[in-house]
Structure formats: structure tokens, C-alpha cells
Amino acid sequence: EPEVTQTPSHQVTQMGQEVILRCVPISNHLYFYWYRQILGQKVEFLVSFYNNEISEKSEIFDDQFSVERPDGSNFTLKIRSTKLEDSAMYFCASRDRGDSPLHFGNGTRLTVT
């Protein structure tokens, strides 16, 4: 069964550094998302992306965050200057149509020291 793949599985970075989290969504999917989950807390929406532009973003997704679909297969989340509170699991998700459910990757665990 096709799946969403995310790399790396674990990223450790120092505060103030830039990180790029990478995702390969399912190949025929058109809608792309980033969610995050701080340890022990709920899964929170960050941003949705469709037709090469951001559809919606949450208040968490401030100027330090950006997303990009640089080619036909990858979908990236960049954090420009990481903060300690950015430490979390970051999940990429995709779906094929407007009314189909999300399929998630296994996440990247980001640790900011």
C-alpha cells in the first residue's frame, strides 16, 4: 500500500539553526499538510498546501516557518531559526481529493537543544 514517507526520522539541532523536514507524499495526492505533536499533547494543524500555494495556516505557523514543493514528489517544511519550543514530532500528511481522509507519515522527531 502506498505510504507517506518522512526523513529524517530524528533531527537534533541547536537553537537558532535552520532545519528542513522532508516528506514524500503518496504519488497521486494533491493536498498536503504538516501537523505537529508536542510530547504528550494533541496533534495540531500547522499548514495545508494545494495547487502550489498555502491553503490555510494556523497561528503556530509564523514567519519562521515555510513550506515548499520543489518538484513533483517532495514537500518540505523549513524552520528558519529554531526555538526550544519547536521540539516536537512533525507529521506530514496527504490526500487525493477534497473529501478523502488524510494519510500520515511516521513523523520526524525534532529536538532543539
- If one asks whether residue 43 binds another protein (CB under 8 A), the answer comes out as yes
Q: Which residues of 13-33 are buried (b: 16+ CB within 10 A; e: fewer)?
A: beeeeebebbbbbbeebebbb
Window 19-38: contact mask with another protein (x via CB under 8 A): ------------x-x-----
- If one asks whether residue 15 binds another protein (CB under 8 A), the answer comes out as no
Q: How far is the CB of 55 from another protein (least distance, A)?
A: 4
Residues whose CB is less than 8 angstroms from the CB of residue 69 and which lie 6 or more positions away in sequence, other chains included: 32, 49, 52, 75, 76
Q: How far is the CB of 81 from another protein (least distance, A)?
A: 25
Residue 60 C-alpha cell reads as 503556530
Nearest by Cα to 110 from 48, 54, 65: 65
Q: Which residues bind another protein (CB under 8 A)?
A: 4, 6, 31, 33, 41-45, 48, 50, 55-56, 58, 89, 91, 98-99, 101-107, 109
